[in-house]
Structure 1
């Protein structure tokens, strides 16, 4: 049955947004419970892997579609929509891939490594203990982060001229590199959080009619997602600052990470 008023659909980043620096979401529990009772979808849109996001979906009791590895792929629970989208069926999901397989990404990085002599160390080149140490993740979570299906994370420190050369070589192979702060993430050029959000929004419109897309983020790699929604919000970072993206009319909300997330949903609750 189609909605007569727009149905809200939440697209949210995880790290630093719904999750705090300790990967906790206690501050947003009440908001998540209200959204669940109100049947408002919460779509994770993150750089995290499928394995990582499945962990948080189970922990938060949140079983909507989710976007992995910076827009590389969309996982839709099989039967979630009353129609198919023509994606591959795998492990109970209908899968829509926008990026490239991690095996291809690693193959290209290996070729560049051989040509340049640069280290270009990625998660696939490291042990679980090394990944846990360099990321600060508990071993269990580090193991999930290593299960990359559509990207590779480069942990080697790079000089600006190395970054410029690497971007050119990757682009020639249909790949792109995004800085995530400490590390770099390499994906297929088709991988894009905004493109994935637009695709999913179209499916929700087909299922429900009028919808209201809401995006919540905190960092530069959330920009494409925030640009693709009708109501973009930024939560505060740990230093209480907000990301500056003047090209998008975002609403800046007080509250670091999940504290700000809770405030956004409280406002939605008042207006619903």
Structure 2
């Protein structure tokens, strides 16, 4: 999950899309918060453990079975598990590319699908590893003009840094973080990103998601649930055939 701009609902899309996959699929799905600062992904599910990715990396040599890793994640009602980022600023260290590689190497042993919620921007330390490993990039934009410009700038940056093929295979999500006022021609926004990305999906505004708290998919409006299932189908279309573990961010 990528975005140059904060406030576009990137973490919410990571949690709801991951939760949708976890609900539909019979295997394990985990979302990892790769934000270099205190990310908020863990706030989208009931907190079951104070452990973070730092604790997982500290104990990484001791994992032999799924139950060993499960003690470091929190699980929501959708069955999505979340691995939190470090939330203590006094203890936080930069989450490096090597840290991300080591984390994913463990997760892919026990989970069939790994969702990565990146921090805002594209220059933080783990991004090179995320771009190298992700099967599908999902660029999130709000339905506003500045949100669309920021998402387009994200694609421009990827193009300029040798990721043209990833841009063509990416999925753009237009996220309704606020109720529609009708002032933005949404079809023009969709058409713009359709020319650059493999697919564009619109997730409508939903009062439950606006709360910014723990997410219960059963509380979403039917149109929101339908949009998320459609997004999951589009993302799954891009998974490489025969890959045992799908990773997207």
* TM-score of Structure 1 vs Structure 2, range by shorter chain: 0.3 to 0.5
Structure showing greater radius of gyration is 1
TM-score (norm 1): 0.39
The structure with the largest helix share of the pair is 2
The structure with the largest strand share of the pair is 1
